[in-house]
Amino acid sequence: MKYLGIAASAGIGIGQIVKIEEHSIEYEARNVEDTQAELERYAKAVERFCEKTLQMSAQVRKRGGEKDAEILEGHNVMLEGMQDNIEDAIRDGSCAEAAVDMTCDFFISVFLSAPEELTRQRAADVKDIKTRMLKILLGIEDVDISGVEPGTVILAKELTPSMTAGIIKDNVAGIITEQGGITSHSAILARALEIPAVLSMKSAFEMLEDKQTVIVDGTNGEVIVAPTDEDIDLYTVRRREYLEAKKALGKYIGRSTQTAEGRCFELVANIGNPNDVKQVLENDAEGVGLFRTEFLFMDRDKMPDEEEQFEAYKKVAVDLKGRPVIVRTLDVGGDKQIPYFEMPKEENPFMGYRAVRFCLDKASEVYRPQLRALLRASAYGNIKIMVPMVTCVDELRAVKKILSEIMDELEREDIPFNRNIEVGVMIETPAAVLIADILATEADFFSIGTNDLIGYTMAADRGNSKVSYLYSQYNPAVLRAIEHVIACAKNENVPVGMCGEAAADPSLIPLWISFGLTEFSVNPASVLRTRKIISEWTTAKANEISLAVMNAQTRDEVVEILKNAEN
């Protein structure tokens, strides 16, 4: 039986479930008479808390988790920050448990109501502090993950830094949680330790039993429960292949991205939030070719203001240390709905009020703050701006006009920015393909968004099973569109990248080489494989394949030619 969750950390793990359940923390709130004695009891607990924090952070640091160690050490500082409130509550007659409980709850609600995502995340830390302090006060033993047997698949509601401090990577085959998204602590931890993980698996706690065998496919976000012998054999082979391939790709770190005869390409990565830069650098991408800023706007009650966006863009620019980052302005609408924008219900949202259309309409509330934040951040690194869903050159002109107004504003305010910032467009609609020659005279770069371009070119929604057979990058219509766009860009000497999933399709890479794509932007996990495949082709061989493919008449013919292609 296969269950789906979020693919949070790649790889395959096979093992037995160990449920990690927090002991319930229950106490009876009492009124204390001897407040002095209660204050001393509290002070002892704080001492124990701080000692344990340092022990845990030392363990975490030893296994290379610098960031987690810092988060844990921050708990001591945060507890100190709440100390006065807690002690006041004890002086007013609360027992130490109730004083900690109330004070932490107060700070949790304050943090949760903050507009900035980063501040809201602090609420999870206060929850962790509260649990740890109550456990110390009540004498409850900690959950100890360090003792799990080799081949364990950890199942938890969510993993906290303190829970995982003693984790022994080699004993944990996989992680499954019921909560948490791609940027949660559980996800960050799993990726840092390279443990396959599937998060947000619904009702996992009810459904799975201790000691049950499961397969965790962290690459595809799948959990196979009660696997058959054939499942185990299949996934054992896949696991071995995954590990061998990963190891072999390590030799491409530090190499330039070039064909066998030495023709160079730019190989960059796609990200959704500033923390992803870590994976970009670990996988040796040469920068970021697509920062999907809509993720900064999702899962919250109101949009991030200019300041919060500025911090996010600046962080990416600084962390990339001069490597380029193409930031795509807000691409909402269609399949990306953001409730607080209250976008009208549409008959046909994919062809409606979305992306640049929405942003230009909401210029003062939505677009200007984003463009201002981007321009301000441009003083701190190599930021480029990309406009999504362009269908006519007027849209690009309108964006540039707003940018130029903001530049004048910033100049008057004496705020630094890069006046020569590059402004490019996504080519993801047939209209943009057809006017690529016009766009090339006004855009500083192109990036081909094959995910949408395939759908719009074929007029087929990939989510509609009746027509999904049409949604394929191997269709001659799609390949011709891409060839045309690249030719138009070359004509005007405009750099042309591809940031849709097709950029990392191994069988199509020779075509992109032959057409003259200049930049590949792929998921961080696909960077080294893409570099390897590019290195295996010569332009001459790629041209041969491309010629044959472009003479094919059907998708099946294209697939057949690519299947038999040899470099």
Name the site residues for ligand PEP (rule: CB under 6 A).
290, 292, 331, 428, 449-452, 499-500
The CB-of-496 to ligand PEP minimum distance in angstroms stands at 14
Counting contacts by CB under 5 A, is residue 497 touching Mg ion?
Answer: no
The CB-of-81 to Mg ion minimum distance in angstroms stands at 43
Residue placing its CB nearer to Mg ion in the complex, 189 or 498: 498
Region near Mg ion per CB under 5 A, out of 144-152, 222-230, 262-270, 424-432: 424-432
Catalytic option among 75, 104, 185, 488: 185
Report how many residues bind Mg ion under the rule CB under 5 A.
Answer: 3
β-bridge partners, 95: none
Nearest to 24 by CA among 140, 154, 165: 140
Residue placing its CB nearer to Mg ion in the complex, 308 or 428: 428
Subset of 223-262 contacting Mg ion (CB under 5 A): none
Write b or e for each residue in 125-150: b if 16 or more Cβ atoms lie within 10 A of its Cβ, otherwise e: bbbbbbbbbbbbbeebebbebeebee
Helices (H) and strands (E) in the chain, counts: 21, 16
Q: Which does 450 bind (CB under 5 to 8 A by kind): Mg ion, ligand PEP, none?
A: ligand PEP
SS3 163: coil
Counting contacts by CB under 5 A, is residue 386 touching Mg ion?
Answer: no
Provide the token pair at 373.
């934040």
The CB-of-233 to Mg ion minimum distance in angstroms stands at 39
Subset of 504-563 contacting Mg ion (CB under 5 A): none
The CB-of-268 to ligand PEP minimum distance in angstroms stands at 13
Residue placing its CB nearer to ligand PEP in the complex, 191 or 292: 292
Provide the token pair at 200.
């947000």
Q: Which does 72 bind (CB under 5 to 8 A by kind): Mg ion, ligand PEP, none?
A: none
How many angstroms from the chain centroid is the CA of residue 176?
Answer: 18
Catalytic, 185? Answer yes
Q: Which does 500 bind (CB under 5 to 8 A by kind): Mg ion, ligand PEP, none?
A: ligand PEP
Q: Which does 292 bind (CB under 5 to 8 A by kind): Mg ion, ligand PEP, none?
A: ligand PEP
Q: What is the DSSP string of 48-115?
A: HHHHHHHHHHHHHHHTT-HHHHHHHHHHHHHHHHHHHHHHHHHHTTB-HHHHHHHHHHHHHHHHHT-S
Q: Which does 499 bind (CB under 5 to 8 A by kind): Mg ion, ligand PEP, none?
A: ligand PEP
Residue placing its CB nearer to ligand PEP in the complex, 161 or 449: 449
Residue placing its CB nearer to ligand PEP in the complex, 277 or 330: 330
Q: How many angstroms separate the CA atoms of 86 and 79, rounded?
A: 9
Q: How many angstroms separate the CA atoms of 499 and 325, rounded?
A: 12
Catalytic option among 104, 359, 488, 499: 499
SS3 216: strand
Provide the token pair at 401.
């006009």
Provide the token pair at 405.
């107004």
Residue placing its CB nearer to Mg ion in the complex, 252 or 291: 291
3-class SS letters over 307-359: HHHHHHHHHHHHHCCCCEEEEECCCCECCECCHHHCCCCCCCHHHCCCHHHHH
Region near Mg ion per CB under 5 A, out of 127-135, 167-175, 208-216, 426-434: 426-434
- Single out the residue of 180, 196, 449, 495 in contact with Mg ion (rule: CB under 5 A): 449
The CB-of-331 to ligand PEP minimum distance in angstroms stands at 6
Residue placing its CB nearer to ligand PEP in the complex, 117 or 452: 452
The CB-of-3 to ligand PEP minimum distance in angstroms stands at 25
The CB-of-425 to ligand PEP minimum distance in angstroms stands at 12
- Single out the residue of 286, 452, 505, 519 in contact with Mg ion (rule: CB under 5 A): 452
Counting contacts by CB under 5 A, is residue 425 touching Mg ion?
Answer: no
Residue placing its CB nearer to Mg ion in the complex, 455 or 524: 455
Bridge pairing between strands 152-156 and 12-20: parallel
Answer for the pair 198, 223: CB distance below 8 angstroms, yes or no.
Answer: yes
Write b or e for each residue in 229-246: b if 16 or more Cβ atoms lie within 10 A of its Cβ, otherwise e: eebeeebeeebeebeeee
β-bridge partners, 425: 387, 446
Catalytic, 488? Answer no
The CB-of-350 to Mg ion minimum distance in angstroms stands at 10
Residues acting as catalytic residues: 185, 499
Q: Which residues bind Mg ion (CB under 5 A)?
A: 428, 449, 452
